A and B are shown apart, each in its own frame.
Chain A
Amino acid sequence: MIPRSFEYSAPGTLNEAVSLLQKLGPDAKILSGGQSLIPMMKLRLASPPHIVDINRIPGLDYIKEEGGVLRIGALVRESDLEHSDLVRSRFPILFDTTSVIADPLVRNQATVCGNLAHGDPANDHPATMLALGASVVAIGPSGEREIPAEKFFPGLFTTALEPDEILKEIRIPIPPPSSGGSYIKLERKVGDFATAGVAVQITLDGSGNCSRAGIGLTNVGFTPIKATKAEASLQGKALDKSTIQQAAQLAASESQPADDIRGSADYKRDLVRVLTSRALERAVARAKGGK
């Protein structure tokens, strides 16, 4: 399969890239890892007249903790995240997520920021970023702006990015002590999109009750879904079996799955219930110092 012809630019700086986007408008598409874009171009589901390859821009492959925030640059590959000691030790939910995306070879190219910028509700990081209360930094002609993850996915394959903006960085607040998270995805086989996936991030207060809960759902709607009712139901509660079951039920009711080759809507809704319950149990165990 051969994509349609396109013009190609490989700018050396972010400002150069933004100028190109400004000049080309919606004709341009950013190439980072390309593991979603190139297959779509080969299938001719996408035929951008101009590709702006940002891979030659230096200094965008950082994963660093700074001022209470974990910052992930635009060119961090999934496999960088997977092998980062910082991520493994401090953000097990991110490790959970990255290690179930596609397969190891795809993860060597695919970028974390691209996983968000693609706007695909079947992608895994969006749910995790919703659970973590992350935000993204967009750079455009008038400078940078920060967009919370919950405002970043307005519709199917649509993000809050303007055509002349680039997703430069993901910012994740460092969770306070006694926090834990987990991401659980059911897939038919390695490399498949999720039949459903659930991301959970919680913080416990001094008496062991839940002081913050974030829950994100993958591939059970037109956008990644923040299960706000389920989150609210956990607030201030001891995370025992019945609280967890109630939240799981609410998360299921907040999902909007469709029948498709991966299962019926009813099946997926119930799967959200089961996965939410399991992810919460694991998150609680991790908040208490377990693995």
Chain B
Amino acid sequence: MATIKVKVNGVEHTSDVEPRLLLVHYIREVLRLTGTHIGCDTSHCGACTVIMDGRAVKSCTVFAIQADGRDVLTVEGLERDGKLHPLQEGFFQEHGLQCGYCTPGMLMTGAAFLESNSAPTEDEIRHAISGNLCRCTGYVNIVKAYQYAAQKMRKGGA
């Protein structure tokens, strides 16, 4: 066992973990933050995406011990002061989900992406979500949700 200190959604957690514990299991089973989903468990689907030190990563393919000393943002941390993140609002307004399974991953990928590209083209959005699979095939509305959020964030609505 090793002791790690990880900041998750702004809250510092100190935990004893086995080195083989995956970040997604740490988030879901130790911290009980079950918004982050496990989908394929083989680094393909992106349902487990979280933001670590500003970069969107697949938490099923990172060990929790690698997050020691790092800053992790999960879907639970997107909402601020009772207000939805513009991207969450976009998914709501544009009907960007059907079953909802891919949604946390889509939101986290998008939250990191829109930080670095505030005026993306549709092509750039589709490229950005190419590591997140939606098996309801609702990509059209997901793209619209990203566009909604980008516009709102440009207007300073974030």
| CB of A181 to closest CB in B, whole Å | 22
Contacting pair A105 B66 (CB below 8 A): no
Contacting pair B20 A4 (CB below 8 A): yes
Contacting pair A109 B19 (CB below 8 A): no
Contacting pair A104 B128 (CB below 8 A): yes
| CB of B38 to closest CB in A, whole Å | 10
Contacting pair B65 A104 (CB below 8 A): no
Contacting pair A102 B20 (CB below 8 A): no
Residues of A close to B19: CB separation below 8 A: 5-8, 51
The reply to whether the CB of A3 lies closer than 8 angstroms to some CB of chain B is: yes
Residues of A close to B22: CB separation below 8 A: 2, 42
Residues of B close to A105: CB separation below 8 A: 46, 49, 56-58, 109, 131-132
A: interface residue count bin: 20 to 34
The reply to whether the CB of B144 lies closer than 8 angstroms to some CB of chain A is: no
The reply to whether the CB of B79 lies closer than 8 angstroms to some CB of chain A is: no
Provided the pairs A4-B20, A108-B55, A108-B56 are in contact, do residues A102 and B62 lie with their beta carbons within 8 angstroms?
no
Which of B44, B56, B61, B109 interacts with A38 by CB under 8 Å?
Answer: B61
Residues of A close to B11: CB separation below 8 A: none
The reply to whether the CB of B12 lies closer than 8 angstroms to some CB of chain A is: no
Provided the pairs A2-B20, A5-B18 are in contact, do residues A191 and B57 lie with their beta carbons within 8 angstroms?
no
Q: How far apart sit A38 and B18, CA to CA, in the bound complex (Å)?
A: 15
Q: How far apart sit A38 and B128, CA to CA, in the bound complex (Å)?
A: 23
The reply to whether the CB of A208 lies closer than 8 angstroms to some CB of chain B is: no
Residues of A close to B63: CB separation below 8 A: 8, 34, 38
Provided the pairs A8-B2, A42-B41 are in contact, do residues A190 and B66 lie with their beta carbons within 8 angstroms?
no
The reply to whether the CB of B83 lies closer than 8 angstroms to some CB of chain A is: no
The reply to whether the CB of B42 lies closer than 8 angstroms to some CB of chain A is: yes
The reply to whether the CB of A55 lies closer than 8 angstroms to some CB of chain B is: yes
Closest to A83 in B: B116
| CB of A59 to closest CB in B, whole Å | 17
The reply to whether the CB of A103 lies closer than 8 angstroms to some CB of chain B is: yes
The reply to whether the CB of A79 lies closer than 8 angstroms to some CB of chain B is: yes
Which of A5, A10, A109 interacts with B57 by CB under 8 Å?
Answer: A109
Q: Which of A86-133 contact B (CB under 8 A)?
A: 102-106, 108-109
Contacting pair A191 B131 (CB below 8 A): yes
Q: Which of A28-66 contact B (CB under 8 A)?
A: 31, 34-35, 38-39, 41-43, 51, 53, 55
Which of B2, B18, B58, B127 interacts with A106 by CB under 8 Å?
Answer: B58
The reply to whether the CB of A1 lies closer than 8 angstroms to some CB of chain B is: yes
List residues of chain A with CB under 8 Å of any chain B CB: 1-8, 10, 31, 34-35, 38-39, 41-43, 51, 53, 55, 79, 102-106, 108-109, 190-191
Given contacts A42-B22, A108-B57, 14 further A-B contacts (CB under 8 A): A4-B20, A6-B20, A35-B43, A38-B43, A38-B63, A39-B42, A39-B61, A42-B41, A53-B65, A103-B131, A105-B57, A105-B132, A106-B131, A108-B56
12 contacts between A and B (CB under 8 A): A2-B22, A5-B18, A5-B20, A42-B60, A53-B65, A55-B66, A104-B56, A104-B109, A105-B56, A105-B109, A105-B132, A108-B57
Listed from nearest, the 9 A-B pairs whose CB atoms lie closest are: A103-B131, A8-B19, A105-B131, A108-B55, A190-B130, A3-B20, A38-B61, A103-B130, A105-B58
